[in-house]
Structure 1
Amino acid sequence: MADRPAKRRRSAMRGRLTTGAAALLLALGAAGPLRAADCPGRPDAIGTARVMEIDPTGLRVGTKSFPRTLALAPREVVLTFDDGPWPATTAAILDALKAECVKATFFLIGQNARLRPELVKRTLAEGHTVAHHSMTHPAATLAKIPFEAAIREIEQGIAADEKAAYGAAGAAPHVPFFRFPGFASTPELLDYLDRKGIGVFGADLWASDWNVQAPQAQLDLVLKRLDAAGGGIVLFHDTKAQTVAMIPAFLKALAAHGYTVVHIVPKPRPGANG
């Protein structure tokens, strides 16, 4: 009896989330159909529940940086990894995702992609989304360097990623998704990406895996944040050994806690690269 007001509040919140998600779906593009996990021999795998096609036009999502996020239902998560590809750790992350038939989005640093094209090609071949995260991830962030230098970082990074993934860079990226290093943007850079038709991703929560911590501590932290948020875009780094160590347990915990994984891809556009 005593918990009925709390239940009513949670029900009302779910209603608001559902209404908001429906409206945002119209703005971002319809979600793909619900799919059963295709994971032969692994009936207990969490799998990928559905694919969401996203229109990048004017896209700025992730509540850590922007007012809105993707049109996810409660307890849906989008898994993203920054800063790779990196020797050993990226391959181990891919192994863990493959074992659970989970798809994710990797925001690559161009110089890392140029040095390790075989890992970029593997990421793509295994069905993940290859997106962009600047050429060198400058320590000063793109917001702190001159505008033209920041543009070079963006353009050179995208070109390096494209060449590593597809063999050549075209007039427009195959996946027009970008995440600012350190989430540090400026209005001018956001406008530039808008004009280029490139959507900008922040995150709704992160594992703070740039801080050294034990894998179990990192797991506990991200699950606590995920339960508080109820889902959303999650940020990890595939360059971190502690993240590699905790990802298998994290994927198991997602299933145990009733979460499902959504894979994001760009909505096809006329004349886009094939």
Structure 2
Amino acid sequence: MLPLKSALLALVVCTTAAHAADCPRKDTLGTSRVLMVDPQATPRVGLKSFPQTLPLADKEVVLTFDDGPFPPTTSRVLAALAAECVQATFFLIGKSAEANPVMVRRIAAEGHSIGSHTWSHRILDRISQPEAIQEIDRGFAADEMALHGKASRVPSTPFFRFPGFASTPALLANLQSRGVAVFGADLWASDWNPMTPEQQLQLLTERLDYAGKGIILMHDTKVQTAKMLPAFLQYLRRNNYKVVHILAAQPAKSPAPDQ
């Protein structure tokens, strides 16, 4: 096994994003750079669940959203991101992706990364291993069908997040063997709890200022998050935070004919 420092270095194929030049509007937050994540080098990241996270500099953040797509709020989240010319990663529930393929394709077309969040958001450490793998595989297949019109258990972007961060050693090993990176988070908005957008903004910014950087978890299905996001992105810009976009360093292997 590679030492942690070497693994983190291997995680990054350093590419500096020219997104500021691509953005038609001046004085936007923009995407500072792209971080190419190699699932083989670092199969799991996020300090709330694992010992290591992405190699981010101080004041760098990765924006991630779970549980979508849900058109009424996902569309508002996409509009807020577009207004500031930033990219994020959306961890989709397969059942929702199947019901809203146009929204899935819009997320991808607007330059965001798409990961998987299972088929129906079952808590996987509470069910059997075969059931859990079926939940994972069905989620991958639904996301791929929505994106590309062809179901596959091999995701085109090999990123996955467990519902409730409820992993098991066996499931982590299974995903690692398949070349899928598991994402936890370094901090979150706690937007599963009812609160006003203003309260959520204060909570999230206080947590971010304390952590200084990290993978941020939000939910694009929450009205309060959709309302809060423009102000949060403006806060990042005013306080000199940088948004890092994550992509897979290596394409997933082509699926077998029966997949």
TM-score, with structure 2 as normaliser: 0.93
Kept after mapping to 2: 8 A contact 1:24/1:71? no
Residue 113 of structure 2 is aligned with which of 129, 145, 149?
129
Measured in 2, the distance between the counterparts of 1:50 and 1:125 equals 19
Q: What does the per-residue CA deviation read over 1:1-29, in whole Å, with 9 as the maximum and x for residues that have no partner?
A: xxxxxxxxxxxxxxxxxxx9975542313
Give, in angstroms, the shift of residue 219 of structure 1.
0.3
**Contact 2:32–2:244 at 8 Å: present in 1 too?**
yes
Q: How many residues align?
A: 251
Task: Please report how far the alpha carbon of residue 166 of structure 1 lies from its aligned counterpart in structure 2 after TM superposition.
Answer: 1.1
Q: Aligned residue for 1:234? A: 216
CA-CA distance at 1:51 after TM superposition: 0.7
Partner of 1:73: 57
* Residue identity matched to 2:27: D
2:158 and 2:252 in contact (8 A); partners too: no
Equivalent position amino acid for 1:31 in 2:
C
CA RMSD of aligned residues (A): 1.7
Q: Choose the corresponding residue for 2:47, options 55, 59, 63.
A: 63
Of residues 22, 28, 33, the one that matches 1:45 is: 28
2:95 is matched with which residue: 80, 99, 111? 111
Q: Which of 61, 74, 94 lines up with 1:90 in the alignment? A: 74
Could you say what secondary structure the match of 2:124 adopts? Answer: coil
Q: Does 1:265 align with 2:241?
A: no
Task: Judge conservation of contact 1:21–1:72 (CA < 8 Å) in 2.
Answer: no
Kindly state the Cα deviation for residue 268 of structure 1 after the two structures are TM-superposed.
2.3
Picking from 178, 181, 186, the partner of 1:196 is 178
Secondary structure, aligned partner of 2:79:
helix
Aligned CA distance change for structure 1 residues 116 and 34 (closer, same or farther; 3 Å): closer
Distance 1:35 1:70 in 2: 21
How much identity, in percent, do the aligned residues show?
A: 54
Quickly say closer, same or farther: Cα 1:66–1:131, change in 2 above 3 A. Answer: same
Unaligned runs of 5+ in 1: 1-19
Contact 1:53 1:265 (C-alpha < 8 Å) held by counterparts: yes
Give the 5 Å matches for 1:161-240: 161-170=143-152, 172-240=154-222
Query: CA distance change for structure 1 residues 21 and 271 in 2, over 3 Å: closer, same or farther?
Result: closer
Is 1:28 the counterpart of 2:11 in the alignment?
A: yes
The answer to whether the Cα contact below 8 Å between 1:50 and 1:261 also exists between their aligned partners in 2 is yes
Q: Which has the larger radius of gyration?
A: 1
